[in-house]
Structure 1
Amino acid sequence: MMRMTLLLALLAIFPLLPWPPTAGATDAEDQPVDDAVAEIEEDEISDFDRDHWAYDRIVRPAVPVVVQTDWPRTGIDRFILARLEKDSLQPAPPADRSSLIRRLCWDLTGLPPTVDQVQDFVNDPRPDAYSRLVDSLLASPEFGKRWGQFWLDLARYADTDGYEHDKIRDQAWKYRDWVIDAINRDMPYDTFIRWQLAGDQVESGGEQATLATAFCLSGPDMPDINSMDERRHVLLNEITSTVGAVMLGLQFGCAQCHDHKYDAISQADFYRLRAFFDSAIRLEQNKSVSVLASHRDYPQTHLMLRGDWRRPGAPLEPAFPRVINDAGTAPSPDASPRTELADWMTDRSNPLTARVIVNRIWQQHFGTGLTATPSDFGVMGDSPTHPELLDYLSDELMRENWSTKRIHRMIVMSSVYRVSGTRPKQGFDRESWDRALAADPDNQLLSRFPRRRLDAEAIRDGLLAVSDSLNHEMGGPGVRPALPVEMVKTLKSGQWKETPSKADHERRSIYIFARRNLRFPFFATFDRPTADQPCARRNQSTTAIQSLVLLNSAFVMKTSERLASVVSAGQPDLRSQIDSLYMRLYSRHPDGEEVTGATEFLASGATLKDLCRAMVNSNEFLYVD
């Protein structure tokens, strides 16, 4: 009796959806539209709905006046310093040169500086030494390999479909290479967006522009599902949610089944945005779909009742989200819907596109964006700590032909980027540091540089780099290094076919084959996300497994052995070898106490390889100040 009561209560809350579908009506287009829901009911967008910082037009603010006029190097610094001075706080002193080059190289290229780079920069007396270094790193091919991964996280990129069979997408890597190339060439961000939404309709773009539309289809898919209409519904909803979150910074996915609970996004708004893509997908059973292509033989778009693909409701036409379309701009019926969407998305009047990408760039440089919810600029997202600075950078991006490298350069050239990340040892600077730490423990005001742990790819690439093992080759299909023997025993035959070339195993991590249902173990250990949905900000865990991997894994054993071999071959005496290790791993010379400790460790019977393993396990290697 109790079970029956519970079942009836659940049915009252969650009524059963029709299953199986009515005989003879297995697909959505065969289902009759319910006359009772043929009209859309939704609230009008009010001035109150639009009264939100993210929906205001981007207007370039005046640069603030500050008291400490000798500190700012860029307009960025004046916004930061004005906020600090408001709270009677001081910025930290500048970072020393060895710390600064280490920070900059890891940040822009995902690799540590070489010993020669450190020595050249530290000893360069020219006033433009730092700007020269910045420009050389921005121009490096390694820049795109580093920053391309952040976009691939958002694009939920993988080389397989996911779900049960996780079939390989033979051509997926071409989109990954397109992203790296576009970032290295500093493709204007508006073009970068346009090609990924409607590149197949850009006459001057050719095959590369069409390839860019793989962004929309890089998420998981189930080609072998029985109903292609169900598959199509799931894909279109996933595309809509991704475009809304990644490019507009709004959680459109919450409105698939009902009106958004907090933001002024109705269920009809969701399906109107989805309608832009309705004619862009043609599916075949058991075949992955890789790029968008316009077709004209699909039925009328409908709102799907409660998000159920079998229950079409009122018909809908493509339309821009009402809450950020206060001018009431409508797509032209004579143009391609996706081209119209791309035009609207990159129009200067759009209040979100520039803000969202500038905030993402800031986040990757400082660990946290100016707003800490990079894919949620809605009313439940965090307000920006420096709203005027966000608008200043957004306006700068559009003024400078949407050049993202221009924004990177502005940020890393600023004084706030160059402040120290470690507590001064004595004097007024230490007192000022402690006062700022007490007043702003989360460092939202950026009085000091935030300490950040290297991500999974940077740790792996860094270990290869310091041991002179890294293969810098670019492009091509994903490579599959050897997996741990104990893991291979648990896999199905052919699930991870090791790449024959051992040299390929040591390529940069962005080129490692990305299987959706089997993350490369080293990456999984250090918090690389799954590719099931866009990842705007990675988790950062601290686990015992991470330390065990860095001490005992075959990969670390091998790179430590190579590092020891390189150091011993290049330096004849023990003191020089210890110095070389410190320079390679930490970009600085050891002090006397550190030399003594390393010497005593080796004298106790440990080998140089053991010292290498110990040093790559230190926080000084894994974290950047």
Structure 2
Amino acid sequence: MCLSGITKRLTYFSVLLIWACVVQLNHAGAEEEHHSTYQEPPISPSERQHWAYQPLRPIAVPGRSELGWGHNEIDAFIAQRLKREGLQPQPSASRRTLIRRLSYDLTGLPPTPAEIEAFVGDSSETAYEALVERLLASPRYGERWAQHWLDLARFAETDGFEHDKLRANAWQYRDWVIQALNNDMPYDEFVRQQIAGDEIYPNQESARIATGFCTSGPDMPDINLLDERRHTVLNEMTSTIGEVFLGLQIGCAQCHDHKYDAISQADFYRLRAIFEPSLKLKKNVSLTTLEEQLPYERKSHVMIRGDFHREGPELSPGVLRVASPEDYMFQPEGTSHTAGYRTAFAAWLVSPENPLTARVIVNRVWQHHFGTGLVNSPSDFGVMGSAPTNQPLLDWLAKSLIDQGWSLKKLHRQIVLSTTYRQPSYLPTDATSPQRAAWQKAIAGDPDARLLSRFPRQRLDGEAVRDAMLLASGSLNEKRGGPGIRPPLPQELVGTLLKNQWNVTQDTTEHTRRSIYVFARRNLIFPTFAALDRPSANVSCPVRNESTTAPQSLQLLNSSFSLEMATQMADDIRSIEKEPIRQIDLAFLRTLGREPVAQERDEVHKFWQAHANDPDTADPLTHLGLALFNANEFLYID
């Protein structure tokens, strides 16, 4: 054998020897670490002083604005903040703007031309309040606001990963959320049922379905190591619960004590231990809801460096120390069917001992009305999150929510009835000189409208865009509930999936149902939604991205769906109006919520005349609809 061959063989055996030594040392280190005592850091008084951990106390409402501006307490807080910055609020937006804003905001659908005409023509002082009540009472309200919650719940109807297996009954959780919101289920009860519905109401099927929140995350049922699957699912569940209900990134503590917040690794695994007895796993079987196992013999441990192979010190279930009084004791009450861990945890979440839950949900509701929360990091109220732009208002709203029985509809009502919400997002053409001066000052001093010196313009999400096109075309099917429907997809998209992963729903009338009922597959986002930044369902999403890209225009202009909706709208309008000018007006009303100005009407009419006898030009009314679907004014809410 040549020298080089001997050298290579020696090198190979040397690598094997070194690797064996490293494995042995790691094993010895793991054993030593396993038997060592985990030293949980204490929480200092200064860490407890962080604003988010302070108890909710009554907040004095500022006195009436010197400007004589405002309708309710929200306006008093906003006016005080604006005055501090030397800014002034704006007068009310037009009625056409307000009905379009309110309709999309509360129901996710635009107002019909008849609804616009009725509201604009109603000169009574109670017209706006009556509109708010009608929209909050509509079943469309739950369908709209459920989507916001499903983003947080990382909801999908499949498992994800390579095989993306179907979860046959996952849609039941989506329907539960819609119904709960429509019924104005108090938020504290909404929380309790999603954490411990099966324990609190053992004979109520809907309460068991509610716990689908906990198990909605991605999962790999076919994994060989059940312990690894269990560890991964529990950690994801615990992290999501911390983000959604507490507004804290507690998932950062699954491998080590949190680097910034007063959350230890033991805190994370104590919270995880609350859910461990309720996670019943079977290989190749998808998770749907929680199911407690009694008696539960398995002990809970800190997992050293987050490794499921390396059990550290044993611990008992518990809640976050920093969000509780120093003398708080976690004391579950067991029954014949449950140890009561989750029931006790849910009670703590909505109790006076926990200052976070009400603040977090109030901020989320505010965010969806104004585009940005009072806290700009809605799932991170920790020390690295954003400070509130108006903490007195945030705390007043949180306290008010509790005092009003945790009613989310009352919270919506307070917000949308405020004069703050009714401000315009642009300067009217007939503005006076003082109004123009105040506007320019607001642009300079509040460029992002975070202080609400005006209403922040917002883009529609993909679900609202699709629903608006369906409604404008006259083809929206308002059937509610049931398994997700699968409209046709481009073949090139279907080709990226495994066989039978997108079997088109046979009943074609189902294809035009609202977007919340479109089948939510984890490994493929419906094209219209994907183009307009629908998030992945693999993690909880508190704020959607808002990008501006070429594929968005390509999707809205060139997709078969857009053309189909424009064609159907043209046919529907022609069945109602025979006069071309009225057809143009009705197309604008259905899409933009207003009639065209004289110049727009003339330009459309000239285009029609120019192509009236051109056999190569598609139907001009269809062309108009397609153009309107692509207008900025269609995609943005003023």
TM-score normalised per structure 2:
0.92
| 1:608 counterpart letter in structure 2 | L
Matched-pair contact (CA < 8 Å) for 2:332–2:344: no
Q: Work out the CA distance in 1 between the residues paired with 2:45 and 2:93.
A: 47
Match of 2:247 among 246, 249, 256: 249
CA positional deviation for 1:211: 0.8
Aligned to 1:26: none
Aligned to 1:297: 296
Aligned to 1:213: 211
Match of 1:286 among 284, 287, 297: 284
Aligned to 2:344: 340
Aligned to 2:534: 528
Q: Work out the CA distance in 2 between the residues paired with 1:286 and 1:190.
A: 35
Q: Work out the CA distance in 1 between the residues paired with 2:127 and 2:350.
A: 36
Aligned to 2:157: 159
| 1:406 counterpart letter in structure 2 | K
Matched-pair contact (CA < 8 Å) for 1:255–1:266: yes
CA positional deviation for 1:33: 7.1
Matched-pair contact (CA < 8 Å) for 2:246–2:357: yes
Q: Work out the CA distance in 2 between the residues paired with 1:251 and 1:482.
A: 39
Using the TM superposition, name which of 390-399 and 293-302 deviates more: 293-302
CA positional deviation for 1:487: 2.3
Aligned to 1:331: 330
Matched-pair contact (CA < 8 Å) for 1:200–1:213: yes
Match of 1:131 among 116, 124, 129: 129
Tell me, what secondary structure is at the counterpart of 1:217? coil
Identity %: 51
| 1:246 counterpart letter in structure 2 | V
Match of 1:548 among 530, 542, 554: 554
| Aligned residues between the structures | 604
Q: Could you say if the C-alpha distance between residues 94 and 21 of structure 1 is closer, same or farther in structure 2, counting changes exceeding 3 Å?
A: same
Aligned to 1:618: 631
1:508 is aligned to 2:506: no
Deviation sequence 1:186-226 (CA, Å, 0-9, x none):
00000000011111111377111111011000000011101
Deviation sequence 1:272-320 (CA, Å, 0-9, x none):
1101101111111110121112113341100000000000010011111
Matched ranges for 1:192-211 at <5 A: 192-203=190-201, 206-211=204-209
Q: Spell out structure 1 runs of 4+ moving beyond 6 A.
A: 15-22
Tell me, what secondary structure is at the counterpart of 2:581? helix
Q: Work out the CA distance in 1 between the residues paired with 2:373 and 2:250.
A: 21
Match of 2:581 among 575, 578, 583: 575
1:120 is aligned to 2:118: yes
Match of 1:389 among 386, 393, 399: 393
> How big is the alpha-carbon RMSD for the aligned residues of Structure 1 and Structure 2?
1.9
Tell me, what secondary structure is at the counterpart of 1:503? helix
1:183 is aligned to 2:181: yes
Matched ranges for 1:48-447 at <5 A: 48-68=46-66, 70-203=68-201, 206-295=204-293, 296-332=295-331, 334-335=333-334, 336-425=340-429, 426-427=431-432, 428-447=434-453
1:448 is aligned to 2:454: yes
Q: Work out the CA distance in 1 between the residues paired with 2:25 and 2:412.
A: 53
Aligned to 1:10: none
1:562 is aligned to 2:573: no
Q: Work out the CA distance in 2 between the residues paired with 1:352 and 1:387.
A: 13
CA positional deviation for 1:21: 9.3
Aligned to 1:9: none
TM-score normalised per structure 1:
0.94
Aligned to 2:40: 42
Deviation sequence 1:305-360 (CA, Å, 0-9, x none):
00000000100111111111124322225431111101100102311000000000
CA positional deviation for 1:36: 5.4
Using the TM superposition, name which of 446-455 and 562-571 deviates more: 562-571
Q: Work out the CA distance in 2 between the residues paired with 1:467 and 1:307.
A: 53
Q: Work out the CA distance in 2 between the residues paired with 1:348 and 1:500.
A: 51
Matched-pair contact (CA < 8 Å) for 1:276–1:338: yes
| 1:378 counterpart letter in structure 2 | G
Aligned to 2:8: none
| 1:372 counterpart letter in structure 2 | N
Q: Could you say if the C-alpha distance between residues 318 and 589 of structure 1 is closer, same or farther in structure 2, counting changes exceeding 3 Å?
A: same
Q: Work out the CA distance in 2 between the residues paired with 1:91 and 1:412.
A: 16
| 2:125 counterpart letter in structure 1 | P
Tell me, what secondary structure is at the counterpart of 1:303? strand
| 1:161 counterpart letter in structure 2 | D
Matched-pair contact (CA < 8 Å) for 2:154–2:539: yes
Matched-pair contact (CA < 8 Å) for 1:248–1:356: yes
Q: Work out the CA distance in 2 between the residues paired with 1:282 and 1:495.
A: 26
Q: Work out the CA distance in 2 between the residues paired with 1:523 and 1:20.
A: 47
| 1:403 counterpart letter in structure 2 | S
Matched-pair contact (CA < 8 Å) for 2:163–2:498: no
**Stretches of structure 1 lacking an aligned partner (at least 5 in a row):** 1-14, 23-30
Q: Work out the CA distance in 1 between the residues paired with 2:346 and 2:496.
A: 45
**Stretches of structure 2 lacking an aligned partner (at least 5 in a row):** 1-20, 335-339, 612-616
CA positional deviation for 1:32: 9.8
Q: Could you say if the C-alpha distance between residues 395 and 17 of structure 1 is closer, same or farther in structure 2, counting changes exceeding 3 Å?
A: farther
Tell me, what secondary structure is at the counterpart of 2:278? coil
Q: Could you say if the C-alpha distance between residues 456 and 232 of structure 1 is closer, same or farther in structure 2, counting changes exceeding 3 Å?
A: same
Q: Work out the CA distance in 2 between the residues paired with 1:392 and 1:176.
A: 31
